[in-house]
Amino acid sequence: MNVNALTLQSVDQALFKKGVMAAHGRDKAGCAVVIFSARLHERVSGAQFEEVKKFLVFWLEKMEREEKGKRITMFFDMGNAGLSNVDIPFISYLINLFKYYYPDLLNAIMVFELPFIMNAAWKIVKNMLPAKSHQLIKFVSKKDVTTLIPPTCALKRWGGGMLQVTPGDEVWFGTGSSGVKRTVTLVNIRGAPVAFKSLPSDDKQELCLRCSAAPSLNDPMVVMVRGLGTKLEAVTSQLEKQQQLLSRAEQQYASARGRLAAALAALAAMAAINIALAFSAGKCE
């Protein structure tokens, strides 16, 4: 593999669009965090695995150049992952990359929400790691992940304050019973997940959209959308009001239907009584 010839265009774009790997924020030690979302990973072989290797090398080269000698933290998000996502050849290749080609790049390994069913697989991986790297491994969950990663840099599903949205997904606006589901549409953004973060700017709020798939080795894709947070709040408020009006209308409809049913029942009862009286009168005659 000619590492110097690797570019964004020379790597399989489908791997970026999956969002399996992404650089996102920094931990409390100041190290850039590279996220590996295990639930999105699929085992492959042959020519496809060669593309995965290029993808991994591209990311490590990218981080080494951007960080200029600083170490990075690998964050393995194991949430909702299963045995079908375990890929020993992939993990072995990643370990060898750090061991032989990037020995000074790794600062820490964070393993988030490791499922119990994957403990056996983890033991295999642990035996593959150099002994000195064991001290770099930290197991975290929603309860303690923010002790290592600031809440402002942690995704919502980790217990942080960053909302991750994949274009085309449906997202709840509002809370509780007043929530309304709407599809998110983003323009000029790649298909990989996007993280939303509120940033203070004087007296206003800015919303930062940071795309998982960076467009180049040097410049991450960052789009600042001013005032979007306020607009989203306004939309949410309107949706909640519409939901309240709809609930009231449903209650009024149910009440009217109940009154109508009672009136019909009364009419039916009166009709039955009249028929009974007429029948009795006929018999008497």
Q: What is the pLDDT of residues 47-81, one digit of tens each?
A: 999 999 999 999 999 999 999 989 999 999 999 99
Q: For 98-124, b where at least 16 C-beta lie within 10 A, e where not — what string?
A: beeebeebbbbbbbbbbbeebeebbee
- In residues, how long is the chain? 285
In a domain, 225, yes or no: no
| Statement: residue 272 has pLDDT above 80 | no
The CATH number of the domain holding residue 79 is: 3.40.525.10
Residues 6 or more apart whose CB falls under 8 angstroms from that of 78 comprise: 38, 39, 111, 112, 113, 114, 115, 118
pLDDT of residue 57: 96
pTM of the predicted structure, to 2 decimals: 0.60
* CB-CB contact of 99 with 128 (8 Å): no
Query: Nearest Cα to 95, choosing from 142, 141, 130, 146?
Result: 130
In a domain, 173, yes or no: no
pLDDT of residue 185: 57
In a domain, 256, yes or no: no
Q: For residue 81, what are the domain limits?
A: 1-150
Task: Give the bridge partners for 76, in sequence order.
Answer: 36, 111
Q: Two tokens at 224? A: 């600042």
> 222 or 107: whose pLDDT is higher?
107
In a domain, 74, yes or no: yes
In a domain, 19, yes or no: yes
In a domain, 207, yes or no: no
Question: What is the rounded distance in angstroms from the CA atom of residue 239 to the CA atom of residue 128?
Answer: 53
In a domain, 160, yes or no: no
Number of domains in the chain: 1
In a domain, 280, yes or no: no
